[in-house]
């Protein structure tokens, strides 16, 4: 899942106001999911109306093996996440994804079909979709396959959103702080920086600010839950001098102080900009907004 500029900007604004940013991520997830769902339902109507077969071949042909969809989409329609396929098979080429998607589709359809034919099953589920003048009614097996695909898509969107939000917001957040504080562009370096380019295990830092006498200060940004043990450890791996976080536990703060790292906590902070300027002043980094 990618974030549009307006979502990123809204998230940054929430963080700078000391507010919780998570509702912006949830809104983005829901908007993406509902957009996918509406398109999926429209495609189902078209596929069913144009195919007179009573078997599930219409679904396989139109959603698993159709050239109109990517391998990633085919996996979702079969109830699988492409990332899961990569974790299992170490690769996710188109051929592998389509094979696994077809295998999983057959397994699910047979499993659900057996449930549908079970004489002891009293449950009846049927999805009816109306689109313009057309209407289709899905069997129990078809309905459950569609529900499973939607559930898989929601999980994919949720996982992608929460794993990428930090990376998407890091630079815009410090950009906005520097702009509000009036840090000269000559004292800002937002390019990717690595501690030692000669080593294969380099770790990039999010941002650099430069003091009046040319000293470079590395900034690390983390959006994580309170007390995350990996949060303060990130400053060690990347030799960070300034740490910006959504929340920090008391233990995290003590760890950072003991290492000489300045930190800025965003959540429930009504003085984010003022606290940032205090750090700039301490590190002798120029700013014009006094």
Task: For 150-218, give the DSSP string.
Answer: HHHHHHHHHHHHHHHHHHHHHHHHHHHHHHHHT--GGGEE-S-EES-TTSTT--EESEEEE-TT--EEE
Which position has the token pair 């009846």? 124
Residue with tokens 């659900």: 112
pLDDT of residue 149: 96
Characterize the bridge pairing of strands 262-265 and 216-222.
unpaired
The first and second tokens of residue 21, run together, are 């940013």
Q: Is the pLDDT of residue 2 over 60?
A: no
Task: Report the C-alpha gap between 79 and 85 in whole angstroms.
Answer: 11
pLDDT of amino acid 116 = 75
Tokens of 35: 């957009």
Is the pLDDT at 39 greater than 90, yes or no?
yes
Q: What is the DSSP letter of 64?
A: I
Average of pLDDT values for 236-264? Answer: 85
For 131-140, 190-199, 267-276, which range has the lowest pLDDT when averaged over its residues?
190-199
Q: Both tokens of residue 94?
A: 């188109």
Q: How confident is the model at residue 201 (pLDDT cuts 50, 70, 90)?
A: very low
**Average pLDDT value for residue range 137-161:** 92
What does pTM read for this prediction? 0.79
Domains detected in the chain: 21-162 (no CATH), 182-282 (3.40.1350.10)
Cα–Cα distance between 89 and 79 in angstroms, integer? 17
The pLDDT of residue 13 is above 60: yes
% of the chain beyond a pLDDT of 70: 88
Q: Write the pLDDT tens digit of every residue in 50-68.
A: 887 778 899 999 999 999 9
Query: What is the residue-averaged pLDDT of the chain?
Result: 86
% of the chain exceeding 90 in pLDDT:
54
Q: What is the pLDDT of residue 73?
A: 93
237 pLDDT band (50/70/90 cuts)?
very low
Q: Mean per-residue pLDDT for 153-172? A: 87
* Burial of 101 per CB tally in 10 Å (0-12, 13-18, 19+): buried
């Amino acid at each position: 899942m990618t974030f549009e500029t307006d979502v990123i900007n809204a998230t940054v604004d929430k963080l700078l106001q000391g507010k919780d940013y998570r509702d912006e991520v949830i809104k983005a997830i829901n908007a993406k999911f509902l957009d996918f769902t509406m398109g999926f339902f429209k495609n189902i109507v078209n596929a069913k109306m144009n195919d007179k077969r009573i078997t599930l071949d219409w679904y396989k042909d139109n959603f698993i093996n159709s050239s109109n969809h990517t391998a990633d989409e085919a996996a979702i329609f079969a109830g699988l996440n492409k990332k899961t396929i990569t974790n299992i098979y170490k690769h996710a080429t188109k051929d592998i994804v389509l094979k696994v998607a077809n295998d999983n589709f057959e397994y699910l359809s047979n499993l659900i079909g057996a449930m549908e034919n079970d004489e002891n099953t009293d449950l009846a589920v049927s999805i009816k979709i109306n689109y313009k003048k057309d209407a289709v009614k899905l069997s129990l097996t078809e309905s459950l396959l569609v529900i499973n695909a939607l559930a898989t898509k929601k999980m994919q969107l949720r996982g992608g959103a929460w794993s990428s939000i930090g990376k998407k917001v890091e630079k815009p957040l410090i950009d906005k702080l520097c702009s509000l504080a009036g840090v000269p562009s000559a004292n800002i370096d937002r390019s990717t920086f690595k501690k030692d380019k000669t080593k294969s295990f380099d770790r990039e830092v999010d941002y650099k600010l430069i003091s009046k006498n040319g000293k470079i200060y590395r900034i690390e940004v983390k959006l994580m839950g309170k007390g995350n043990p990996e949060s303060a450890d990130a400053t060690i791996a990347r030799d960070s001098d300034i740490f910006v976080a959504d929340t920090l536990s008391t233990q995290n703060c003590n760890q950072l102080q003991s290492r000489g790292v300045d930190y800025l906590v965003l959540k429930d902070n009504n003085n984010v900009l003022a606290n940032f300027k205090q750090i700039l002043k301490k590190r002798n980094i120029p700013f014009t907004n006094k």
